[in-house]
Amino acid sequence: MKFYILKNSYAYLIFNVQFRSFIYLSGMAISFMQRKTRPFLFYIPFTVYFSIYIIALFLLWLLVNKQAHLPESSFTAIITLLLKVTFATAAFFLLFSFITTLIPFVYIWLVKKRGKLVCNFGLTENNQSANGIPQMALSIAPVVKPLFGFLKFRLRYNHENFSPKFQPISQSGFSIFQKKYSAVFSWQLPEIREYAVQEGWIYFEDLFQFFSFALSLPLQEQFNYPPGQKNIPPVSIPANKTDEDNHRVDELKKVEGEYLNFKHFEGQDDIRRIAWPVYARSRELVVRIPETLDTYASQVYVYTSCYSGFPGENNSPVGKHFLNWYKTIIWNLIKDIQEKGFRLTMITDQHPHPDDPQELTELQSLIITQEWQLALSLTDFVHVQNASAIIISSLCPVEQVQDLMYRRKETTLFILVKLSTVIRRNHLLHLLSWLFIQQEKNEIEKARTAWTLSLNRLAILDNEKKLQTLFQQNSKTLIL
Amino acid sequence: MQVSRIHSKTKVFAQLLCLGLPTLLLAGYFLRFANNFYTILENDFIKQTIYFGVGLVAAFIFYAYRFRFVTTTLVLFLVFSTIHFILQRLAFGEFNAFFASVHFLIFSILFLFGWITGYGLSRSIFYTIAWPVFLCGIQIFFVGKTTDITATKLIIAFAPVLFYTLFIIYTAMLIRNVDEDKQKLKWFISGRVLGFLLLVCLALAGILYYFQPQFKAIEKEWTARAKAKEGKGGGQSQTSMTTTNKDGSVSNANSTSLTSSLSKNQKLIFVARLDNYFPDSITPNPLYFTSSYYTKFDTAIQAFEIDPKMPDNDLFKPDPSTIPLYFARTDSTVIKNSHATKDRKIVQAEVYAVLLSPNEFIAPATAFYCQPIPVPPAFKDVYKSAYRAKMWVSDLNSAYFIYNPANNPALEDFQQERFERLRSVTSYAGVPKSFLDYYTDMPSDPDYDSIRTLATTLTQHAHTPIDKVLAIRDYFLSKDEFGQPLFAYSDNPGIPGLPSASKLNYFLFQNRKGYCAYYAGATLFMLRALHIPSRVAAGYLTVDRSSKNPGWYWFYQNQSHAWVQVFFPGYGWIDFDTTIPDVNTQQSPQPDGTPPLNMQQPFLVADGNIQSIDTTKKLLTLSVNKLLFHDKDYASPVSVPILLDISLATISRDTGVVNIQALQRNMHITAASYAEALKNSMAAPNDSIAGIFSKLNKPVPIDEIKIVVAAAKNDKTAGETVEKKSGKLNLLKIAIIFLLACLLVLLLSPSLIWQYYHTKVRTSTTHPEQPFFVHRALSFYLHQLGYQRKAISPHSFATKLDEALDTNITSFSDLYQKWKYSNTRLSDAEFNSIKPFYEQSIQQIKRKIPLKKRILAFIHINRTFHYFKNPKISSYESE
């Protein structure tokens, strides 16, 4: 009881709010400082390998020198000399590394200072490599490569995001004094979204990668990271009659009453409809199902909702990963519908497209720009009587979906994109595999850890389960 | 459960070749080295290298996939531990099981070590950098411990590890950073690695060449140590009675100068057993151990000196390290030169050197016999070498006799009795004049007159030489008018007040403080002033402090001493110590060590040179010249070979125990065997060495090997080493010149190739040859200048060239294509036009492209490689 009072006291409330604010603001401040100071760290002229090497040499000196306790003996004299030789060799190669890296750096610095540096950066002609990752091309002229060394790059995109340091595949042949450096690289990006590269850095690294001299490059490029290909089951979406009858589809669409299939003969069926050729082949009496053809029933209104009832996850690794998956599924659905020849109208709860995009690239751009949002709820956004299909995610509150289902048109298809299946939690078998296999440190792994630790996980799973039950109880639903 | 890859197959292959192979070779090198140290490894370094290699390769392949290191290695460790546990408990014969488990243990340790290294080089940057530096440290330590110190060997032992260090760091970084999607990846890695190899070779050659004088200096110092017995050491700021050699061993200083201070410390120098007892045969009678005699005084440097030309030299000074084990060296002339016939007996001593230089021979006067003996195995860590000495010892000599008996009535009586006996010597009549003149010589400087006066004053009541000696001794022990001792012992006698004054004068008349050399020196001059033949002896004073082990004496560095020997006709040289007792010496540590009792007697001792040696099987063939079999000497003018099993032998040289690697062909060694198997093999009375060997089962098990360094040979060897070194230096120079020549040839190769084609064009006159070579020469020339055809057709390329260079190559190209691909021969007119066209084209190209650009283009080796690497693209011929 006492505890209850304390927990609900005003003082506790004030303390809790203040404390939470402090933690939040501190975190923000640290994050801000990190973002602001990080670019300066790129200019540190040596690498962590250099530090390891120096420490190793120091330990070597410390340990070997400690052994040389026999004064005036050959042992001491020899190890002292061998240490000298070791350190002289190390010094020579460090100097060699330093000079061979510094010269190309100074050269390009002077060229840049005189405004004669030419940089080109952009997507390659193919745009993507075989696995759908954007492929970028980069060229710089003039440039001198460090002797036996490496040229590496880093990019700044979408304001304060930095790519890891990477080494592109050089397209130039081997030459020390090459005038132009051209290279391509596949950029594995974390999210399906628009990207704007705003700055780049070129790193001159020596043969041992002990020294690293960075120079800022004026690189600019905007591009989209598109959703990938995903096989989804064929979806049959009932089309509406077009608003304007001037759009005729090339393919006839099945509407109610079409002769498309056969069914077994029943007592009430018209015997004139018996398909005798089928009987001749299979000794089964079947009758044709009546069909009607409507060449103008081609308009499909697809509502895609990014409404999230779990704001805590909107910008978390889990939310980002869910969004990638959601966008991929929407994109593949839309592509499928478009390929069937429907006149598609995609209505999103953000950035409504005034021009009613029909081209795939335009639709793709529209999907890519979607984000989880809180502003427009599902019930406010979907025009139920008009909708051919409504795509929702597991983050959509079940109450809103329930409401829509209650008001829906009979033919409207509800599609639920299950998100929990994207991130598999570590079960016992996975734990075993985790013990022995080191997973790649990528976004999926980050999301998996965040998902395991997420406070919203149970609530999301519960919501998803309820949605699943709701979908199973109703007809014209699809769970993906 | 699918495990994705981290490294592609190409990368793994590159890792195995560039990281695994050098590591394996280095591991083999280290294991070979380790086999010489650890018996458990059983000299099977090839198999052990394979174990390591299997672990290394397995890890490279395994960790190309995304497996975690800690858990997977732990599982491997548990598997190995379980197998080892089972093997230990298998019941198929305890002995076999033990060896199987030991073998498995070696396998698993090496495999795991290879496994960890494989993982580290494949996946861990930290390990890649730390591992070679760690190896470098290990090698520095091992090379520092080597006994065979020559500049070349040190460089050869260390350079590969240094090379490996740089190579591994670079190659690991290169492979880690290379993009697997890169085209011609293998060519890229090979090119980079070869280029780096060239760079490292040149840099290391330069660095090691720069440091070579310092390596040589160490070698020189080491050689100097071997020559320390000749006595050219010193150089310490403080004067010591002993000289510390470069290896830390101690020799007696060859001259004892009278400087301001004497440094002494408590280091144990040697331990000796002396078979000299009083007539009761129970009470040990210690004797001073003599190292050398100082018979001359150099007034210029104020120091006593050894004079090798002293008359009737009775100093036996062999180098025990040059005498084969168990073989003795005897010099009977010293007995004759001692001129001692009365009250003498032969006494034996055994000396076990701790810090004493192995070249040094120390024994009580007058020694005439030296026999190196082995140090018992249990004491090898403490004692480096040992020898047995025999001396022609006077009954009148005793440490008690010359030292103050400290109110011991029995010893005082003993002293008096002996003084009485010496009182029978009243004059030096009958002693050769040259002998007397030499041993009574003293500087005629006026400074010494005061000493003469003092000596005369002190001995005015003494009539016999012994009484004069005792009078001088008593003077040093006398007290002043205040009852205080007149003289005092001091290691720091101070600096003389007057620069021109003799230090001895200063000591005798002003300071009256000094150490043994001052007392001995002063006594010597006073005795010589009285025409009593005398000399200063240097060595170690013997203090009997061991009640537990009678006859054993421990000698510390602070027991190094100088005293006076006085000649008495008939009795020879007798020791007298006039030094005031040193309080510090009396407080020397009590010996608490166990004496090195050597109970074993060898059945066979063979002396000769190594004919062949197999360090793996530990077998050695020795060409024997001298043999000691069941205490009987055999010698043969012709060397007789015998196979010896040295697997259990303790190998030693002057510096102590060494490893099997120290044994080399043609080396002079002595091998001794205590094997029971030889106990019953007896030699017939007329047996020769060959006859005895024929009776023995081969290989003969050997327990002791001592490497003998002959003094005469030493110089020769040093000469040979210098010759060898200069040979090796020349080799290094030749190698550098060769490398530079290769580099030059490489740079000139485009020009040489071009000259070849050019000459071929000029010399070829036949139909098929000329168009071919004209085309070849022209295409190569243009390719080298940067005009590469790449993927366009020959005609288009020729057109482009004509546009760029203002030539007429198109017509020739068409002609060449026609000649090549059609069956029709060229007409005479066409054929005749080829050569002029060629010369004109070359001239035109030269006009268009400046000389500087052409020269630069012709050192562009990459283009040459490219020309021959891609003939389909870059030459017309293959079209």
- Given CB atoms, is A374 within the 8 Å cutoff of chain B? no
Per-residue pLDDT, B403: 61
For position B720, what pLDDT does the model report? Answer: 46
Per the CB < 8 A criterion, the answer to whether B602 and B704 are in contact is yes
Cα A158 to chain centroid, rounded:
14
CB contact under 8 A, B145 and A75: yes
Contact A433 B177 (CB under 8 A): no
Distance separating alpha carbons of residues B841 and B835, to the nearest angstrom: 10
Indicate if the pLDDT at residue B77 is higher than 90. Answer: yes
Q: What is the pLDDT of residues B486-501, one digit of tens each?
A: 887 776 555 443 333 4
Supply the pLDDT for residue B872: 42
- Average pLDDT value for residue range B130-145: 85
The pLDDT value given to residue A324: 87
Q: How confident is the model at residue B240 (pLDDT cuts 50, 70, 90)?
A: very low
CA distance B373 to B327: 9
C-alpha A199/C-alpha A283 separation (Å) is 74
Chain B environment of A439 (Cβ under 8 Å): 66
B150-174: per-residue pLDDT in tens?
888 888 888 889 999 999 999 988 8
Q: How confident is the model at residue A102 (pLDDT cuts 50, 70, 90)?
A: very high
Confidence of residue A230 (pLDDT cuts 50, 70, 90): confident
ipTM: 0.72
**pLDDT recorded at residue A259:** 43
Report yes or no: B137 and A60 within 8 Å, Cβ to Cβ: yes
- CA distances B680 to B72, B225, B673, B677, B714, Å, are 59, 43, 13, 7, 38
| A361 touching B (Cβ < 8 Å) | no
| B37-53 tens-digit pLDDT | 665 666 678 888 999 99
Average pLDDT over residues B347-356: 86
Residue B511 has pLDDT above 80, yes or no: no
Which range (A360-374, B504-518, B785-799, B842-856) has the least confidence?
A: B504-518
* Cross-strand partners of A199: A156
Q: What is the pLDDT of residues B615-627, one digit of tens each?
A: 878 888 888 888 8
CA distances from B863 to B859, B860, B868 (A): 9, 6, 9
> What residues of B are in contact with residue A148 (Cβ under 8 Å)?
170, 192, 195-196, 199
Residue A106 pLDDT grade (very low, low, confident, very high; cuts 50, 70, 90): very high
The predicted pLDDT at position A263 comes to 74
The pairs formed by A122-128 with CB atoms below 8 angstroms and a separation of 24 or more are A122/A221, A122/A223, A123/A221, A123/A223, A124/A184, A128/A226
Q: pLDDT tens-digit profile of B178-230? A: 777 666 777 778 888 888 999 999 999 999 989 888 888 888 776 666 555 34
Is residue A94 pLDDT above 90, yes or no?
yes
| Residue A292 pLDDT class (50, 70, 90 cuts) | very low
Q: What is the pLDDT of residues B715-766, one digit of tens each?
A: 444 444 444 555 566 777 888 888 888 888 888 888 888 888 888 888 877 7
Q: How far is A166 from chain B (nearest CA, A)?
A: 9
Taking the C-alpha atoms of residue A253 and residue B795, their distance in angstroms, rounded to an integer, is 59
Stretch A401-416: mean pLDDT, rounded?
84
Mean pLDDT of chain A: 79
Report the pLDDT value the prediction gives residue B722, as an integer from 0 to 100: 47
Looking at the predicted structure, is the pLDDT value of residue B877 above 80? no
| B414, B420 Cβ separation under 8 angstroms | no
Say what the alpha-carbon torsion angle A428, A434, A440, A441 is, to the nearest 10 degrees. Answer: 90
Is the per-residue pLDDT at B68 higher than 60?
yes
Task: Give the pLDDT band (50/70/90) at residue B713.
Answer: very low
Provide DSSP, B572-609: EEEEE--PPPPHHHHTPPPP-SPP-------SEEEEEE
pLDDT at A169: 78
pLDDT > 80? residue B30? yes
Number of H helices, E strands in chain A: 12, 16
Higher pLDDT, A376 or B302: A376
* Cα B568 to Cα B344: distance, rounded to the nearest angstrom: 13
Other C-beta atoms within 10 Å of B304: how many? 25
Shortest Cα distance from B744 to chain A (angstroms)? 19
What's the confidence (pLDDT) of residue A39? 79
Helices B794-805, B828-848: crossing angle, 10 deg rounding: 50
Residues 137-156 of A with CB under 8 A from B: 148, 150
Question: Which residues does B773 contact at the CB level (< 8 Å), separation at least 6?
Answer: B757, B760, B761, B764
Average pLDDT of chain B is 79
- Name the percent of chain B lying above pLDDT 70: 83
Q: How many CB atoms lie within 10 A of CB B430?
A: 7
The interaxial angle of helices A317-339 and A360-368, nearest 10 deg, is 160
Q: How far apart are CA B653 and CA A211, in angstroms?
A: 50
Which chain B residue shows the shortest CA-CA distance from A90?
Answer: B166
Nearest CA-CA partner of B619 in B648, B580, B592: B648
Chain A neighbors of B208, CB-CB under 8 A: 85
For residues A20-36, average pLDDT: 78
Contact call for A438 and B66, based on CB within 8 A: yes
Q: How far is the alpha carbon of B164 from chain A, nearest alpha carbon, in Å?
A: 12
Query: Can you give the pTM of this predicted structure?
Result: 0.51
How close B500 gets to chain A, by Cα (Å)?
Answer: 36
d(CA A21, CA B552): 86
Scored b (16 or more CB within 10 A) or e, B323-332 reads: bbbbbbbebe
Please answer yes or no on whether A56 and B247 come within 8 Å at the CB atom: no
Q: How far is B628 from chain A (nearest CA, A)?
A: 35
E-assigned strand segments in A206-310: 212-217, 221-224, 262-264, 286-288, 299-304
Six-digit token string for B158: 């260390």
Q: What are the backbone angles phi and psi of residue B796, rounded to the nearest 5°?
A: -60, -40
pLDDT digits (tens, 9 = 90+) for B407-445: 677 777 777 888 888 888 888 888 888 888 888 888 777
Instruction: Please write the tens of the pLDDT for every residue from A152-202.
Output: 888 888 877 888 888 887 776 545 555 678 888 888 777 888 888 888 899
Q: Is A33 helix (H, G, I), strand (E, B) or coil?
A: helix
Residue B873: what pLDDT?
36
Give the mean model confidence (pLDDT) for residues B69-74.
92
From residue A222, alpha-carbon distances to A118, A193, A197, A201, B603 in Å are 19, 11, 6, 17, 94
Question: What per-residue confidence (pLDDT) applies to B259?
Answer: 44
Q: Which of A76, A96, A174 sits opposite B862 (nearest CB)?
A: A174
What confidence category does residue A22 fall into, taking pLDDT thresholds of 50, 70 and 90? confident
Give dist(CA B784, CA B791) in Å, integer: 17
Whole-number Å distance between alpha carbons of B188 and B170: 14
Q: Which has the higher per-residue pLDDT, A219 or A70?
A: A219
Q: Which two tokens stand for residue A301?
A: 């209104």
| Region B227-254 average pLDDT | 46
Cα gap B638→B645, rounded to integer Å: 22
Render pLDDT for B399-414 as a digit per residue (tens, 0 to 9): 776 666 556 777 777 7
B-chain residue closest to A177, CA distance: B860
Residue B115's pLDDT is what? 94
Closest CA to B780 of B868, B878, B688: B868
Chain A's closest residue to B137, CA to CA, is A60
**CA-CA-CA-CA torsion for A322, A326, A328, A332, nearest 10 degrees?**
160
Question: What is the distance, to the nearest Å, from the Cα of residue A240 to the centroid of all Cα atoms in its chain?
Answer: 34
Tokens of A439: 């997973």
Chain B residues near residue A99 by CB distance under 8 angstroms: none
Residue with more model confidence, B580 or A97: A97
Task: Say if CB B30 and CB B87 are below 8 A apart.
Answer: no
B166 chain-A contacts, CB cut-off 8 A: 89, 93
> Is a pLDDT exceeding 80 seen at residue B506?
no
